[in-house]
Amino acid sequence: MVHLFIPRETREGEARVASIPETVRSLIEAGLTVSVETKAGLPAGFSDTSYQAAGADLVDSSPHAWAGADILLKLHPPTQEEAARLKKGSLVVCFFQPALNPDSAEALQGAGASVFAMERIPRTTAAQKMDALSSQANTAGYKAAVLAAATLGRWFPLMMTAAGTVKPAKVVVFGAGVAGLQAIATARRLGAQVQATDIRPEVKEQVESLGGRFIEVKMEERAGDEASVYAEEASEDYKKRQEEAVAEAVAEADVVITTALVPGAKAPILLSRERVETMAPGSVVVDLAAIQGGNCELTRKGETVIHQGVTILGPEDLAATVATHASELYARNLLQVVRHLCPEGKLTLDLEDEITGAALALHHGKVT
Ligand code: NAD
């Protein structure tokens, strides 16, 4: 029988857990056995007894617990010390990101482990239910708008009171991917006026359907361009035109939320120091790209910077601060991954399979 282990996440600031009682029950129904480290779910709001009631064994963090697992379900890759406890040939399912976690990557290779990297799952219809990049980006986008509202010394909605009328907050969102669209939707629900821009003009309709205004960057059509769901690095000409197109909206904004990423590259700088200096004191920037260098020139990863009265937040992982729902969504993504890899209750790593072939970053310690 395939045995799964869900350890407690040890990374500082991480409150999420890779499985919740609901998905543990489904995994057991699928013919697998599951053990969960004590207190693994507690920071996300899931008690030990709720895992036990779902059929899991509660275990401590001893090397024995790690060595007994065929599959480990995690958020972050195991540390060097944790990787050394793994049984040879075991499979770790997590956000691998070897460039950000080189020590873990080396240790997992040394341990002869296989790694199913959640960030490498193809963005296809077949894999949609496993798409943890989307589930976590969705959560981060929601929290970015809430964080901005909580930091801003103004209200988001239009409000008419006996003491006078309050104008709605003006929010500008850079990047209308999964996180950006959720930030737009949340800011709109809170009553703000929202404008957004994206290098992919095809997202205009989605922005408008959420009640936002799309800031278009006029470019000449380039013949032969193929539409891609992912942004490529912007040309110098595009950057110049974008800067001009957003200048007025940024200067008038109470809040700027930046979410623009380019897969495999440093995040583009979209908000220069000069542009921030056009914003009124008291305005707020939330930079969701901080982990990849930031979209704002003044962002410092994990810190709050105040520049001429403008607060610039560079949170490292906002999804981790909405731990209960982020864990629920991630756990459901992982349930689908395990079902895919263990169709008959037996672990099968088929490299010819479109999803497994793309996501399997290490196979028995070897880079695929
Ligand atoms: P992402 O995190 O890679 O980037 C965020 C956004 O920033 C993107 O919309 C991107 O176009 C934008 N951006 C990048 N550089 C920019 C620049 N210089 N100026 C302005 N904007 C810039 O994107 P994501 O949220 O992972 O989503 C990427 C795409 O994949 C989206 O179209 C999304 O809808 C799509 N997607 C498809 C599926 C699926 O089909 N299963 C699942 C998830 C996402």
Task: Give the Cβ contact number of residue 329 at 10 Å.
Answer: 21
Q: Is 134 a catalytic residue?
A: yes
Q: What residues pair up with 37 in beta bridges, in sequence order?
A: 59
Cα of 154 from ligand 1 centre, angstroms: 30
| Average pLDDT of the segment spanning 176-204 | 97
Residue 367 Cβ inside 6 Å of ligand 1? The answer reads no
Q: What is the pTM of this model?
A: 0.94
Catalytic residue selected from 62, 80, 103, 123: 123
Higher pLDDT residue, 226 or 8? 8
Q: Which domains does the chain have, with CATH numbers?
A: 3-120+322-363 (3.40.50.720), 139-320 (3.40.50.720)
User: Which residues have C-beta within 8 Å of that of residue 293, sequence separation ≥ 6?
Assistant: 266, 267
Residue 346 structure tokens: 């037996």
Q: What tens digit of pLDDT does each residue of 90-119 get?
A: 999 999 999 889 999 999 999 999 999 999
Residue type for position 141: G
Give residue 15's Cα distance to chain centre: 14
Using a pLDDT cut of 90, give the percent of the chain over it: 90
pLDDT score for 224 = 42
Q: How large is the C-alpha radius of gyration of the chain?
A: 22
* Distance from C-alpha of 291 to C-alpha of 293, rounded to nearest angstrom: 6
Q: What tens digit of pLDDT does each residue of 202-255 get?
A: 999 999 999 999 999 988 755 444 455 566 778 889 999 999 999 999 999 999
Q: Residue 316 has what DSSP assignment? A: S
Q: Treating both helix axes as pointing N-terminal to C-terminal, what angle do 21-29 and 323-341 enclose, rounded to 10 degrees?
A: 10
* DSSP helix/strand/coil, 119: helix
pLDDT score for 45 = 98
Q: What tens digit of pLDDT does each residue of 253-294 get?
A: 999 999 998 877 889 999 999 999 999 999 999 999 999 999
Closest to 90 (Cα-Cα) out of 109, 107, 71: 71
Residue 174 Cβ inside 6 Å of ligand 1? The answer reads yes
Of 59-68, 75-84, 157-166, 268-277, minimum mean pLDDT range: 59-68
Give residue 251's Cα distance to chain centre: 28
Higher pLDDT residue, 51 or 230? 51
User: Which residues have C-beta within 8 Å of that of residue 269, sequence separation ≥ 6?
Assistant: 294, 295, 296, 297
* Distance from C-alpha of 161 to C-alpha of 342, rounded to nearest angstrom: 60
Which region holds residue 72: left if phi is over 0, alpha if psi is between -120 and 50, else beta? Answer: beta
Q: Is 242 a catalytic residue?
A: no
Residue 302 Cβ inside 6 Å of ligand 1? The answer reads no
Catalytic residue selected from 62, 80, 230, 235: 230
pLDDT score for 221 = 59
